[in-house]
């Protein structure tokens, strides 16, 4: 292939296809149910992180209240199921309720940017956590709500770890594709513009507030999907899922993986979920480890693991080709 751009694109495609195949193969090669469940957890948190990434990475708006939106979808679903609704109706209701909550979140928090935006989202997230904790007639308070069954889309029950993993993988791939399409679209470009030069965007004729609002709604949609997956995964929801630490963990996933990249959120989710679940079995102070890893990322790859790895690979590649051409030049002189 003579065209380096076309070659790079096809390399990316092949790598992407291989990655998807590897993800599909996980439940068939990994025998322990425990690890299949960990993989499901990574993917559902990857959907959450993708949603948060729309705001943090592409809009430049850091939200510390996203676990609240995650929780609204989760509670709405659990409440409907506990009330005896079917899965389809419960899921649709959960999406409608959480999107309404997202619109409220957006309307209140988009009055500000920067630190003020963070503080408003933090406060809103805490309010939702407080509601989950105290509005006992709806949420059952600290005891939470149990969900007894998983749905069976197209007659395929998701009761086994393996089938649930496949369903989660499908949702993740759809969320990833939606993010990829959005980022490359005119609206996605406009959103990135409002992140870098909001004043200029306004002068160029863009409705900066409205662009951010729709980005928030898209973010809320992905976050809600993750919340729904979460309830079906654990078959239980309690106020803990809405806690500030849950929002902070989501942010950690986005930033450590690489904010404003498509694959960063999944890598970040994998890092956090693995340290939290797997490493914690061996290391008691896993929180400390997570912190140490995060510090190391900030020091060595401040842009996140995915862009950092790309940068280092490119540098290594350049060094290798330079050496090669230097050797060739030296050879030619002789």
Partner 1 sequence: MSALVVRALSKSFGGLHVARRIDLRVEPGERRLIIGPNGAGKTTLFNLITGELAPDSGSIELFGRDITGMASRKRTHLGMARTYQIITLFPHDTIAHNVTLALLGLSPLRWNPLIALNRQRHLAAAAGAALERVGLDQIAGRRLAQTSYGERRRVEIAMALAQNPKVLLLDEPFAGLSIDERQDVRKLLAAIPRDVTIVMIEHDMDTALDLADRITLLHFGEVIVEGTRAEVVADPRTREVYLGE
CA 187 centroid distance within chain: 20
Size, binding site for partner 1 by CB under 8 A = 25
DSSP class per residue in 208-232: HHHHHHHHHHHHHHHHHHHHHHHHH
Distance CA 65, CA 79 (A): 21
Distance CA 266, CA 39 (A): 11
- Burial class for 215, CB neighbours closer than 10 Å (0-12, 13-18, 19+): buried
172-201: which residues touch partner 1 (CB under 8 A)? 181-182, 184-190, 192-193, 196-197, 199-201
| Cβ proximity to partner 1, 74 vs 175, nearer residue | 175
Q: Quick check: 265 and 222 in contact, CB under 8 A?
A: no
| Cβ proximity to partner 1, 35 vs 214, nearer residue | 214
Q: How far is the CB of 206 from partner 1 (least distance, A)?
A: 5
78-117: which residues touch partner 1 (CB under 8 A)? none
Closest CA to 244 of 125, 131, 137: 125
Q: How far is the CB of 189 from partner 1 (least distance, A)?
A: 5
209-228: which residues touch partner 1 (CB under 8 A)? 214, 218
Q: How far is the CB of 99 from partner 1 (least distance, A)?
A: 15
Tokens of 40: 């499901």
| Cβ proximity to partner 1, 116 vs 202, nearer residue | 202
| Cβ proximity to partner 1, 40 vs 194, nearer residue | 194
205 lies in the binding site for partner 1 (CB under 8 A): yes
| Cβ proximity to partner 1, 18 vs 204, nearer residue | 204
Q: How far is the CB of 289 from partner 1 (least distance, A)?
A: 33
Q: Quick check: 225 and 23 in contact, CB under 8 A?
A: no
| Cβ proximity to partner 1, 161 vs 215, nearer residue | 215
Binding string, 124-143, against partner 1, x = CB under 8 A? --------------------
| Cβ proximity to partner 1, 133 vs 206, nearer residue | 206
What is the SS3 assignment for 244-304?
Answer: HHHHHHHHHHHHHHCCCCCCHHHHHHHHHHHHHHHHHHHCCCHHHHHHHHHHHHHHHCCCC
Q: How far is the CB of 281 from partner 1 (least distance, A)?
A: 41
313 lies in the binding site for partner 1 (CB under 8 A): no
Closest CA to 129 of 63, 76, 67, 80: 67
Residue 204 zone, left/alpha/beta (φ > 0; ψ -120 to 50; rest): alpha
Q: How far is the CB of 224 from partner 1 (least distance, A)?
A: 17
Q: How far is the CB of 217 from partner 1 (least distance, A)?
A: 10
202 lies in the binding site for partner 1 (CB under 8 A): yes
Stretch (H or E) spanning 185: none
| Cβ proximity to partner 1, 239 vs 307, nearer residue | 307
Q: What is the CA radius of gyration of the chain?
A: 22
Member of 35, 206, 213, 294 binding partner 1 (CB under 8 A) = 206
Site of interaction with partner 1 (CB under 8 A): 181-182, 184-190, 192-193, 196-197, 199-208, 214, 218
């Amino acid at each position: 292939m003579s065209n380096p751009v076309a070659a790079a694109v096809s390399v990316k495609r092949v790598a992407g296809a291989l990655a998807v195949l590897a993800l599909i193969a996980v439940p068939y090669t990994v025998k322990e149910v425990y690890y299949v469940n960990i993989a499901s957890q990574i993917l559902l948190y990857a959907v959450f992180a993708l949603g948060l990434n729309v705001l943090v990475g592409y809009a430049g708006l850091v939200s510390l209240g996203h676990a609240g939106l995650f929780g609204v979808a989760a509670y709405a679903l659990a409440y409907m199921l506990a009330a005896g609704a079917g899965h389809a109706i419960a899921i649709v209701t959960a999406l409608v309720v959480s999107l309404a909550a997202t619109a409220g979140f957006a309307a209140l928090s988009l009055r500000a940017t920067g630190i003020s935006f963070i503080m408003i989202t933090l406060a809103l997230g805490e309010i939702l956590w407080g509601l989950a904790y105290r509005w006992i007639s709806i949420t059952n308070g600290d005891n939470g709500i149990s969900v007894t069954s998983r749905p069976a889309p197209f007659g395929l029950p998701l009761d086994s770890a393996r089938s649930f993993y496949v369903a989660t993988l499908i949702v993740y791939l759809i969320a990833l594709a939606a993010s990829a399409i959005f980022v490359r679209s005119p609206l996605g470009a406009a959103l990135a513009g409002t992140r870098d030069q909001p004043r200029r965007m306004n002068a160029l004729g863009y409705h900066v507030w409205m662009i951010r609002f729709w980005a928030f709604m898209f973010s809320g949609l992905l976050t809600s999907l993750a919340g729904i997956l979460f309830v079906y995964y654990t078959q239980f929801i309690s106020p803990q899922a809405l806690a500030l630490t849950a929002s902070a963990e989501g942010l950690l996933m986005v930033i450590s993986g690489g904010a404003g990249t498509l694959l960063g959120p999944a890598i970040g989710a994998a890092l956090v979920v693995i340290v939290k679940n797997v490493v914690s079995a061996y290391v008691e102070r896993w929180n400390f480890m997570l912190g140490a890893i995060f510090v190391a990322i900030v020091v060595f790859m401040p842009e996140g693991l995915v862009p950092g790895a790309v940068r280092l690979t490119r540098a290594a590649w350049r060094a290798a080709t330079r050496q090669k051409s230097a050797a060739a030049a030296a050879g030619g002189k002789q």
